[in-house]
Amino acid sequence: MSVKNFYITTTLPYVNSDPHIGFAMEIIRADAIARFHKLQGDNVFFNTGTDEHGLKIYQKAFNLGQNTQDFVDGYAEAFKNLKGILNLSEDLHFVRTTDSRHVEAAQEFWKRCNDNGYIYKKLYQAKYCSGCELEKTDVEIENGHCFIHPNIDLILIDEENYFFKFSEFQKPLLEFYAKHPDFVVPDFRFNEIKAFVERGLQDFSISRLKSKMPWGVPVPGDDGHVMYVWFDALVSYISTLGWPKDTASFEQWWVSTGGVVQYCGKDNLRQQSAMWQAMLMAAGLPNSKQIVINGFITSGGQKMSKSLGNVVSPIDIVNEFGTDALRYYVLREFSPFEDSDFTLEKFKESYNAGLANGLGNLVSRVMKMATTYDVRLPDVALVVDEEKYTKAFESFEINKACQYIWSLIQDADRLIQETEPFKLIKTDPEKAKKIVGDLLSRINFIAVVLRPILPETSKIVEECVTSHTMPEKPLFLRK
């Protein structure tokens, strides 16, 4: 079987505050998908980074009296630190939109779109939400504010800007969608974007006057303008590959793979699955492979967001419960596509049931019997049905992969309860040891399929099985 190349990326979060659990959810999911593909033997390019231009970043730095570059440098480090905090893949790539290589790529992308006739200049009047970094139509406004950012005042823009001819891509986009029926996951989000495109497309602004918003990538050939944040940031998905100079890398990870798999929130649906795809077409480049849309994390029914001030810090959760506890909850308990509500009470309940009393207790019991009765991992391979597990990852329903794994944990617990090898060892030691050997095979297999989900824990369990030792301490202490 030939080795496949696979490229997955998160969106690039704004660096105007510390990482919150919403982005932690997105990057943990992407990391699990990346690790799954490595488990399948694929070559993987896993990407994240930081979006460092735009009005709200400039305003935040200005209000704090800080140099804007110094401001974004500090927050970029906070996002880079997630690699260790969330135990993300060692080979994770990190792109910053202030990197010189990215700036050059964004300018080259602009030039290609312009040379192909898809950029023009005109007077621009709009109601603009700095939270979304998008202009808003009247149907997207309630009580004078954007639906998504009700506490941020809209900005009235009246200036001459460059525009992208989005209106010319209705037919090409609809044809592309028809040829790629799984382009947006889940289906109901795909239906949303198809309906949006079918209603007709409006050209959108892709620049800002430098005199009003100096923090951005300069527009090629016009120093009076900087690029609109979305036009700049979206190019990061190819600039991180070394485009346009590193043609070999671009061919390997973008062309040969059929494009990138992009994780994003539902508020990014339009930008990722329509605007960005039209931009790629305009530049003469292949489209993305797939867009996977997350729901929001809510708190008491409200979206959890930095602008609303109701965020939960993933770092606080990790400090108290451990990295794998957070990964477990995000991957098993959150809906893959719908909104999910988070409370500390729900988290503790799931932690105790699934980890402390579930996986941790099972491993402790089995290894205790294995070391006491001197039972080693059998040479005979365990016969299991991995189809549910594989299909769950391929459909980005990682929670179903978790359900499959925890059904194996429950099956192993049931086997112990029904056969009681700790009692059987006195009357029929051979049979008891055979059962313990079967249990060893089961937890060893569970450890393997847990690698994408709980990488640290799975490694400990595998080491216990192969080295014939008990865990040095309980895998998960009850809270």
Which two tokens mark 328?
């477990």
User: Which CATH homologous superfamily contains domain 344-467?
Assistant: Isoleucyl-tRNA Synthetase; Domain 1 (1.10.730.10)
The residue ranges of the chain whose pLDDT is under 70 are 1-2, 138-139, 303-309
Question: Which is it for strands 218-219 and 222-227: parallel, antiparallel or unpaired?
Answer: antiparallel
Q: What is the DSSP string of 205-259?
A: E-EEETTT---SPEETTEEEEEE-HHHHHHTHHHHTTTTTT-HHHHIIIIITTTS
Q: What is the DSSP string of 160-203?
A: EEEEE-GGGGHHHHHHHHHH-TTSEESHHHHHHHHHHHHT----
For domain 5-294, give the fold: Rossmann fold (3.40.50)
Domain residue extents for the chain: 5-294, 344-467
pLDDT value at position 124?
A: 78
pLDDT value at position 307?
A: 65
Cα 240 to Cα 82: distance, rounded to the nearest angstrom: 18
- Note whether 5-294 and 344-467 share their fold: no
Q: Are 281 and 287 in contact (CB under 8 A)?
A: yes
Per-residue pLDDT tens digits for 51-73: 999 888 888 898 999 999 999 99
